[in-house]
Amino acid sequence: MEPGYLQAVDPADEESFAVLSRLLAVALPGHWTETMLRSDIVQPASHYYLAWAKTGEAVGFGGFWLIEDEAHLVVLAVEPACRQRGVGTALLWGLLQWAREQGARRMTLEVRADNEAALALYRRFGFVELGRRPGYYGEVDGLVLWTPRIDGPDYAGQLQQWAAGWRRP
Ligand SMILES: CC(C)(COP(=O)(O)OP(=O)(O)OC[C@H]1O[C@@H](n2cnc3c(N)ncnc32)[C@H](O)[C@@H]1OP(=O)(O)O)[C@@H](O)C(=O)NCCC(=O)NCCS
């Protein structure tokens, strides 16, 4: 992972918040309002990351809550023009590393059953479906995914292998 690619967001940093807020509007329109983002990011359990391209533009972000030893991924999004270039992979990799460093044993999330891009990304990191909420998104089910244990040496070694071949966009 190149230095400067991923940046942990300080919730008190207004400049970073403005960047997150802009990305939220373009990458996840209609998902959260700016007010919802602000109220989430200031929670002590919240951890957010930004991904920066070589050009100096922020191209994606993600955040999780750490509750006891469980990390709940609450948001992950990449600027539409920068998708399918490895940014989502790098972000999720960083979030998993960070969660491990904070003492998480597993990560969980909920995703629409028809979100093929996100599902492919999550499966790459070992997430498996352990629950289904029928009709959670209207006509579409919600899937509850979990990683295996992420705190042990096996998963750490796997993360190192995954990181080896990536290119910063
Ligand atoms: C899901 C999302 C974060 C993926 O980001 P990304 O930067 O495009 O992901 P990557 O380039 O790292 O791709 C990782 C893998 O995901 C899969 N993938 C990504 N986009 C895909 C698509 N459109 N269709 C099918 N698979 C896709 C591929 O398996 C890909 O691996 P590969 O490139 O080696 O084939 C991005 O599509 C996004 O922001 N979507 C809207 C927000 C969202 O749905 N967030 C998840 C909510 S739970």
Assess contact for 105 and 76: CB atoms under 8 A.
no
What predicted TM-score, i.e. pTM, was given to this entire model?
0.94
Q: Following CA atoms 84, 168, 96, 102 in sequence, which dihedral angle do they give, to the nearest 10 degrees?
A: -150
Structure tokens at 141: 């089910």
**44 vs 11, 12, 31, 99, 151, CA distance in Å?**
9, 12, 22, 14, 21
Report the C-alpha gap between 122 and 77 in whole angstroms.
13
Of 20, 95, 121, the one to substitute when testing ligand 1's pocket (max ligand atoms within 8 A of C-beta) is: 121
Domain residue limits, the chain: 6-164
pLDDT tens, per residue, the chain with 169 residues:
555 688 999 989 999 999 999 999 999 998 899 999 999 999 999 999 999 988 899 999 999 999 999 999 999 999 999 999 999 999 999 999 999 999 999 999 999 999 999 999 999 999 999 999 999 999 999 999 999 999 999 999 999 888 776 666 6
Superfamily of domain 6-164: Gcn5-related N-acetyltransferase (GNAT) (3.40.630.30)
- Which 3 state secondary structure label does DSSP give 80? helix
Ligand 1 contacts CB of residue 58 (under 6 A): no
Q: Is 150 in the pocket of ligand 1 (CB under 6 A)?
A: no
Alpha carbon separation from 111 to 3, 102, 126 (Å, rounded): 30, 24, 15
Report the run of H or E that residue 40 belongs to, with start and end: helix 34-41
Among protein residues, the one with the nearest Cα to ligand 1's atom 33 is: 84
**CB 119 near ligand 1, within 6 Å:** no
Distance 117 CA to ligand 1 centre (A): 4
Annotated catalytic sites, by residue? 110, 122
